[in-house]
Structure 1
């Protein structure tokens, strides 16, 4: 048998497991295909619930989940709780903004630089350095808050100075869940945000209607202009 292989066939052979490669060498693709169709690969009958319980314990979900009803979830999009809204929201409902910069063990040095640049140039409320997921954010991050007066400046600045990191910019209104999930802007790619459980402020308990921003940085560097 010739040892010369077609390059395409060799490519696919290299993608297969070592065991399948041995089959290819011994009898070719036809032999491998025959083994795949052999009775040894036939699906075994599903074990009964009693057999499962006998070997692995009792499922905490019981054994009737497949017959449970599957109703439509409640609407969570802002303004659609009772159908489409009749009019737009006022843009003045936005009282401030948050920027969340995400990083990991390979990109944290870029986040450090953005954090330093921000504190040097803008009067913002700079939050802690979160080396682990915190709140609705599923990766390490840091955040800074800023007023609506800075939005026309900070948003394009972040677009040009993200260093390739994922950045969430969201407004602060009276609906934190919508702020994070539906009113959000992303610089570069987006990523999951676990904000479905966020609630509106409890005004009866004295919580402010909208999260407040208190700048804690003192800019010392002029913003670069062309």
Structure 2
């Protein structure tokens, strides 16, 4: 692939990462922090959150772009932070919340924070920044930050498939449309195999069989709990 501009560059980096070549991650970080193109930045952010490690997030220089990020860029980071699967992303979300309070960005930030901290049930959705910040400081004391997490526990692909199938069968039985997006998308990124159903589609018996075949295929591979993958490669 001939690289002529930043868009070509990020597409090439993405393809190399999908093949397990994580040596290009520094190129991704450099591009993320230097590009002036919003489309390129948003793709960089989404890709970075999917391939970053705890160590990548521990270095604030890797996220220098956040200092002058646009509202769209901040929204992309807030919504993509779930894919980092790391508690190390939380301080960045808290800092962004202060900058973007009373905006759509703050809503996305609160939702991402709740996915890690599960604070809505304890503090309520209207809890302010100081309350959530203190809740994080208290909770992180009992968290093994070496592990990767999704929602209430260490990430495991088998747990994702259980969540997906519960909603699939519910949609099929109640003749509703499939209403999950985050979990199937995350499962596809982690495994490198596209989940066969799309958000919003009706669920037939044939669709259930396709989903079961997909899960059976993934079950043939070895997936470790609390481990982060990108397209099947261990990070």
The TM-score, its normalising length taken from structure 1, stands at 0.22
**Highest Rg: 1 or 2?**
1
Structure in which a larger fraction of residues adopt strand:
1
> Which has the larger helix fraction?
2
